[in-house]
Structure 1
Amino acid sequence: MRLGITLFATDRTMAAHELAAAAEERGFASLYLPEHTHIPVSRRTPPPTGVDTLPEEYARTPDPFVALAAAAAVTERIVLGTGVALPAQRDPIVTAKAIATLDRISGGRFVLGAGYGWNAEEAADHGVPWERRRAVVREHVLAMRELWTRDEAEFKGEFAAFEPSWSWPKPAGRIPVLLGGAPGPTLFAHIAEFGDGWMPIGGAGIRDALPALRRACEAAGREMARVVPFGTLPTPEKLGYYASLGVEEVVLRVPAGGRDEVLPVLDGYARTYGPL
């Protein structure tokens, strides 16, 4: 089983490029960073974790693509991904080029972890109709796929459209897309249509959801999607349980702190669950 790392990166935590180098040195397989473009002061949308006050870290996240480009420059092997990016809030033409550039810089090591978003006010500032955000994510990812794979790309949709166009650089390889979110028909239909896997946060409920995901993939004529539990606080029993389900990668959470907080946890994971 491959073990990755995720950090809720901010301007006050250990820098992403330093963490990437440290994680690679200790044998971890991947590093994932979150995204929030901004956080409106209004709290009409309650915090996603059920707490009364939204933690300040949500307003302090760096741009994940820029941070991961820095990480790519100081590493050679570790996979670099978003956990998760918010495609509905991004122009797909500009984002496709940023991702393709990052993938080439990293030598084909980028993975797009994508989510639908939870903050209605944040999405509204980007002009995203909240009830249609899943449809927006779908079109934006499909539009980016066209730009990544075709010499003359064209897309006509409700939320994204462009005439036949040239866009280089192309990615070094196929960009894997892992979709985050609670299990359900829309999520699994999207994974089967344009994704490569599911990133369930924390990993609860995976066993019960696997049959529905498998059916969605079979209906689309595709192999079973990858399942990558995300933000896990590990125990030997938990990792053993995931392995029994056929899970091949688990992304472990480290604290959103500086080097003095993060590195001891990273070392502890490496000692307990290595060799990686």
Structure 2
Amino acid sequence: MRIATTIFLTDETITPVRLARELEQRGFHGLYLPEHTHIPVSRETPYPAGGELPAEYGRTLDPFVALAQAAAVTERLALGTGITLIAQHDPIDLAKQAATLDHLSGGRLTLGIGFGWNVEEAADHGVEWATRRSLGSDRLALMRALWADEPTAYEGRFASVRASHAYPKPVQGQRGPVNGPRTLIGGAAGPRLFAQIARDADGWLPIGGRGLTQALPKLRTEWEAAGRDPGHLQVVPYAVVPGPGKLAHYAELGIEEVVLHLPSAGETEVLRALDAYAAHL
């Protein structure tokens, strides 16, 4: 099983360069970074995990800039967003960012995307909350038009782009209905999410990994109904704290990659966590 990591990197934590070097030297598979552009102070949306929102949510580094630093000092380390809030981005700009990072890293990018939980943050980006999923799907389709081998126009509900010259292209090519970087969609299990994964992605990025025994058969059924190859579905439990038997349980479910949660902290604490996680490599 491939063991990757995720962390809220901030202006107060270990740096992307130091962490990336330590991960590659120790044999970890990858580094996934979350995204929040800002956290409005006058926020009514409750923190999904309960209690007070941790301070690091309002201090996160831009994931594409931080991952570019990580790419520059490593050769094998996989790079991922976990997750990119796709509805909050201009899709033409995001397509360029993702393609550039994938190109410069030699095809190491996983684009983890999601639709967010913070209504106020999304509103500041002009996102109407009820349409955020449709908006995200529309933006992903536009990005894929720009990633196509030949100039391809796209006309969607929310945005459009003319047939264009748009380079560099992502390293990974067409696979079924999907092109561009490996794409995983985050979110809670359910028919709507699973239909979207089967239509638009390479797999699922479930936070915490709970309930997979019940959810995976439903996702696989939706995947196969969409005509996708059963062997190509990727499920990557995200922000997992490994406990006794947890990784073995994932392996029994056919899961080949897991992303372990690191503390949002300075070098000493993060490296201590890596030492503990190294037992699972």
Tell me the equivalent position of 1:195: 201
Tell me the equivalent position of 2:280: 273
Q: What SS does the aligned partner of 1:242 have?
A: helix
Partner deviation per Cα, 1:127-178 (whole Å, 9 max, x = no partner): 1110111111111111111111233121111112112222111112241101
In structure 2, runs of 5+ residues without a counterpart are: 173-179
Tell me the equivalent position of 1:75: 74
Q: What SS does the aligned partner of 1:229 have?
A: coil
Aligned residues: 272
Runs of 4+ in 1 over 3 A off after TM superposition: none
Instruction: State the AA in 1 paired with 2:164.
Output: S
User: Offset at 1:19?
Assistant: 0.9
User: Offset at 1:199?
Assistant: 0.8
1:7 aligns with 2:11: no
Partner deviation per Cα, 1:52-84 (whole Å, 9 max, x = no partner): x22211111111001101100000001000011
Q: What SS does the aligned partner of 2:53 have?
A: coil
In structure 1, runs of 5+ residues without a counterpart are: none
1:241 aligns with 2:249: yes
TM-score (norm 2): 0.94
1:133 aligns with 2:141: no
Matches within 5 A, 1:68-107: 68-107=67-106
Tell me the equivalent position of 2:176: none
d(CA) in 2 for partners of 1:166, 1:105: 19
1:219 aligns with 2:219: no
d(CA) in 2 for partners of 1:153, 1:121: 34
Q: What SS does the aligned partner of 2:260 have?
A: strand
Instruction: State the AA in 2 paired with 1:128.
Output: V
Q: What SS does the aligned partner of 1:112 have?
A: strand
Counting aligned pairs with the same residue, the percent is 56
Instruction: State the AA in 2 paired with 1:265.
Output: A
Matches within 5 A, 1:165-204: 165-173=164-172, 174-204=180-210
Instruction: State the AA in 2 paired with 1:245.
Output: L
Kept in 2: contact 1:151–1:167 (CA 8 A): no
- Between 1:16-25 and 1:248-257, the stretch displaced more is 16-25
d(CA) in 1 for partners of 2:218, 2:145: 28
